[in-house]
Amino acid sequence: MSTWNSRGLRGSTLEELVNRTNEQYREKGLALIQKVPTPITPIKIDKEHRHITLAYFEQKSTVDYIGAVQGIPVCFDAKECKTDTFPLANVHQHQIQFMADFERQKGIAFLLLYFSARDFFYYLRFSELCRYVDRADRGGLKRFRLQELDPAYELKQEHGIFVPYLEGVQKDLLERD
């Protein structure tokens, strides 16, 4: 059985906070964001406990969340990091490609990062992610540090919102105009 520290449950705290935030935004009529289910095919099932014990992914997932904010399409992936360094390997090429395609369709794509050791949330614009990926592709660092991030996109919990990512979306939109 999986435990709290198991690889299979990494990020579940962040996911729960984002899901609750999405409910808050929906209730306030600000956004409609849904978790994208990852399709799996069960291989082994523990019939006594009614748990899937072995499964494989049917296809590569895209992003964790997708929806609309005041009529603007958004998609994002939520990533949790225990240190002050975020490895770009945590974002898969097919996810980057999906976000690029999404942006070309006039949507907004981003990563929602949680640096758990510091209890620090960050809205990583897709353009900022691309800068780090381009740097890695040119032979540079294959990660980025917390100190490199734009402090304007730190997400501070306020007004009872668990992960106020709409603040980041608003700033992102203003920079695009």
Instruction: For residue 153, give every residue at least 6 positions away whose Cβ sits within 8 Å of its Cβ, in sequence order, or none.
Output: 122, 123, 124, 125, 128, 168, 171
Cα separation of 10 and 122, whole Å?
18
Is 77 marked as binding a ligand? yes
Is 64 marked as binding a ligand? yes
What is the layout of strands, in order, in the sheet containing 154-155? 31-35, 65-69, 72-81, 108-115, 120-125, 154-155
- As given in the structure block, the two tokens for residue 20 are 């609750």
Of the candidates 37, 41, 40, which has an alpha carbon nearest to the alpha carbon of residue 19?
A: 37
Is 83 marked as binding a ligand? no
- As given in the structure block, the two tokens for residue 9 are 């449950």
Is 85 marked as binding a ligand? no
- Asked if residue 143 lies in contact with residue 85, where contact means CB atoms within 8 angstroms, the answer is yes
Cβ neighbour number for residue 75 with a 10 Å cutoff: 23
- Annotated binding-site residues for Mg(2+) read 62, 64, 77, 95
- Annotated binding-site residues read 62, 64, 77, 95
